[in-house]
Amino acid sequence: MKFGTTIPRELIQRGADQPYGKLYDFVREVEDLGYEFSAIGHHRFAPDRSNNEPSAPLVMLAALLANTSRLKLLTSILLVATYHPVDVAEQIATLQEMSNGRFILGAGMGYRQYEFDTVQIPYKSRVSRFEEVLDVLRLALSGEEFHYEGRHFNIPPTTITPPRPAGTTTPIWMGANSEAGLRRAAAKADGWLAGYPYSIGDIAAYMKLYREAAAGTGNSTTLCLMREFHIAETRAAVDPRWLEGVIAINRAYRSQGASISNDSLDEERTPTIDEYVPNRAVAGTPDDCIRELTATRDAVQPDSIMLTPVGLHDPELYIRELRLFAKTVMPAFG
């Protein structure tokens, strides 16, 4: 079981001489600490430009890959349906050449209508367009000549350059939060990026469906499990604001239609950390984190865990906690 991090965009210092200097420091330290990957999100044309995901994550990842030598970089997630797939394929091929194959494509369909409206793509076509984009990317990133005829794209015989580095592929991990999405991931991707609002019970049921749907396709069923994260040396040092922030964010997700089954999200009261964390988050002392991750491993056998500092938006604290986690928890999992 490998471990990854999210990339805190709050480290960007707009107006500074080196706006991304702290971001480069972050990925270099994460690499030195032994983490497998770091992930960056994506949204386009966000109304709140001060606090949102990057609008051009592949450009950002080019610089981050250039500042590391072993760390893998992941989009979590890239809204591929808002682009032409050949354009995306050329950028990915260049990233893979730069990094000797250290890029992982985390792809998602998107749910914000204005992101499609702005680039004049019909929002109602996003499902079929997303599926075709994934089909084209699979062909394009093979390194071989391909052609494609579909509802949205008709591509003549084409070869994407630069060629992929010898012995490498571009894994495609898909964000999905429904049975239909998991069946799509089983048919068209190599892995599932499972979001943090879901309990281990939900994940186990979804993984059964996912693996059954992928049987016979030859596709990998990699599971990258996002987990809300907060670690402290003692229980007394756990910040109560973390849980308050987590609950507020999850309630917001549920109000937008996300399926969150944990009864501790009752609107009448805020649960305690002992009520909330089991089967849902990686939080507490190092021993607490080891216990929770052991239960998670035994229940769903994730290939990797993405530690996400939901609830506390302090990038310097996140870095300190990643150091503590690497020192005290990661050795328990080889």
pTM value is 0.94
Look at residue 175 and tell me whether its pLDDT is greater than 70: yes
Beta-carbon contacts of 35 under 8 Å, excluding residues fewer than 6 positions away, are 3, 4, 5, 71, 322, 326
Single out the residue of 269, 253, 196 nearest to residue 229, CA to CA: 196
Nearest Cα residue to 69 out of 20, 39, 33, 31: 31
3-state secondary structure of 229: strand
Residues in the chain: 334
Instruction: Answer yes or no: is pLDDT of 5 > 80.
Output: yes
Residue 187 reports pLDDT greater than 90: yes
pLDDT attached to residue 50: 58
pLDDT beyond 60 at 188: yes
Instruction: Taking residues 149-174, report their average pLDDT.
Output: 97
pLDDT at 259 over 70: no
Q: What confidence score (pLDDT) does residue 196 get?
A: 79
234 pLDDT higher than 80: yes
Report the C-alpha gap between 300 and 286 in whole angstroms.
Answer: 21
For residue 205, how far is the Cα from the chain centroid? 20
Strand ranges, E, within the chain: 2-6, 37-40, 72-75, 78-79, 103-108, 146-149, 154-158, 172-175, 191-194, 222-231, 281-284, 304-308
198 against 83, higher pLDDT: 83
- Cis bond upstream, residue 240 (ω within 30): no
Write down the mean pLDDT value for the chain: 92
pLDDT of residue 4: 98
Q: Is 329 exposed, middle or buried (0-12, 13-18, 19+ CB in 10 A)?
A: buried
pLDDT, mean of residues 234-251:
87
Are 109 and 139 in contact by the 8 Å Cβ rule? The answer is no
Q: What is the mean pLDDT of residues 263-278?
A: 74
Tell me the sheet residues that pair with 147: none
Amino acid sitting at position 80: V
What are the pLDDT digits (tens) for 37-78? 999 999 999 887 655 789 999 999 999 999 999 999 999 999
* Confidence band for 254, pLDDT divided at 50, 70 and 90: low
Checking if the pLDDT of 185 tops 60, the result is: yes
Whether the pLDDT of residue 197 is over 90: the answer is no
Q: How far apart are CA 187 and CA 219, in angstroms?
A: 7
Q: Is 243 or 258 the better-scoring residue by pLDDT?
A: 243
Do 93 and 161 contact (CB within 8 A), yes or no? Answer: yes
Distance CA 121, CA 79 (A): 13
Report the C-alpha gap between 97 and 165 in whole angstroms.
6
What do you get for the CA distance between the two ends of the chain, in Å? 8
* Local confidence band at 30 (pLDDT 50, 70, 90 cut-offs): very high
Core vs surface per residue 262-294: b (16+ CB within 10 A) or e: bebbeeeebeebeebbbbbbbbbbbebbbebbe
Domains within the chain, CATH numbers bracketed = 2-240+282-333 (3.20.20.30)
pLDDT tens sequence across 91-138? 999 999 999 999 999 999 998 999 999 999 999 999 999 999 999 999
